[in-house]
Amino acid sequence: MTRIDVISLFPDWIGQLEQYGVVGRGIRAQRLALQAWNPRDYSDDRNGRVDERSFGGGPGMVMQVAPLQRTLAAIHAARGDEAQSRPPTILLSPRGDVFDQRWARALAEREAGFTLLCGRYEGVDQRFVERHVDIQLSVGNFVLSGGELPAMLIIDAVARLLPGVLGDAASAQSDSFSCGGLLDHPHYTRPADAGVPDVLLSGDHAAIARWREQQALGTTWLQRPDLLRDLKLSTEQEELLRRFIAGERGSN
Ligand code: 9D3
């Protein structure tokens, strides 16, 4: 069972995840355990303060070391981890390495799980970062107000990769960024009226597979050429893409 602990000033928000979708399924299937921890519960201040003004001045507050350290200690005690096998502490931070599908796979492979720390305000006292943070992750080049949404995003991306969480193991494998690094082909469903490519209604499975491969290549070429540049296409793929670009748009 993979255990993810989350340190956040909004634990109820994180807790919502277990009611929905793939994370809910993972928890019900006992492949995933999710627990949110509020550093306010580990404050030594009567009002539960966990932040202070930044030394040196300037706007914004900084999360203090002591409440975070006690929260982390409580997590490790609850997990019963020995010092050597402590799960990594991951700080969500704009300074971090940008999270991607490779990171999702790497985290999903950590069977014991990990601890996510959601920063708020201007950030976390650097001494805590130096003593306890193993990895820093960002979710992209835009400014958020805290690490909660990034944490939820990471939990979702990791949960769906855990064995036994998605009913159809193949569905985790065959979507974008896993399916040979290409975007998915377009999908159609009922009603089967004008606009549905004929080949999808033909019953010719080989032709359908070829059309889908060509659409995956063509869609990636049109919308994410950066992904295509990192791939080595087979001769068949080169030919399918060449005909897509020539304007056949999947008519083979
Ligand atoms: C205006 C504040 N910034 C000064 C230049 C620094 C800053 C501090 C704290 C910017 C954002 C935040 C809060 N963001 C996160 O905690 C965060 C985040 C993000 O903002 N973008 C992308 N990924 C992440 S992960 C955590």
- Per residue in 185-218, pLDDT (tens digit) is 999 999 999 999 999 999 999 999 999 999 999 9
Cα dist from 131 to 66, 68, 77, 126, 135, whole Å: 12, 11, 18, 9, 12
Q: Which of 109, 23, 119 is nearest to 68 (CA)?
A: 119
Pocket test for ligand 1, best of 14, 54, 93, 121 (most atoms within 8 A of CB): 93
Q: Which of 117, 147, 110 is nearest to 131 (CA)?
A: 117
Provide the token pair at 136.
Answer: 């820093």
147 lines ligand 1 (CB under 6 A): yes
**Hey, how many other C-beta atoms are within 10 angstroms of the C-beta on 225?**
9
92 lines ligand 1 (CB under 6 A): yes
Q: What is the pLDDT of residues 56-100, one digit of tens each?
A: 999 999 999 999 999 999 999 999 988 788 999 999 999 999 999
Distance 91 CA to ligand 1 centre (A): 11
Distance 152 CA to ligand 1 centre (A): 15
Q: What is the pLDDT of residues 133-149, one digit of tens each?
A: 999 999 999 999 999 99
Residue 106's pLDDT is what?
A: 98
223: left (phi over 0), alpha (psi -120 to 50) or beta: alpha
Peptide bond into 191 cis (omega under 30): yes
Cα dist from 64 to 8, 48, 50, 168, 191, whole Å: 13, 12, 6, 44, 58
140 lines ligand 1 (CB under 6 A): yes
Distance 143 CA to ligand 1 centre (A): 5
Catalytic residue positions, numbered: 94, 122, 160, 175
Residue 121's pLDDT is what?
A: 82
Residue 169's pLDDT is what?
A: 56
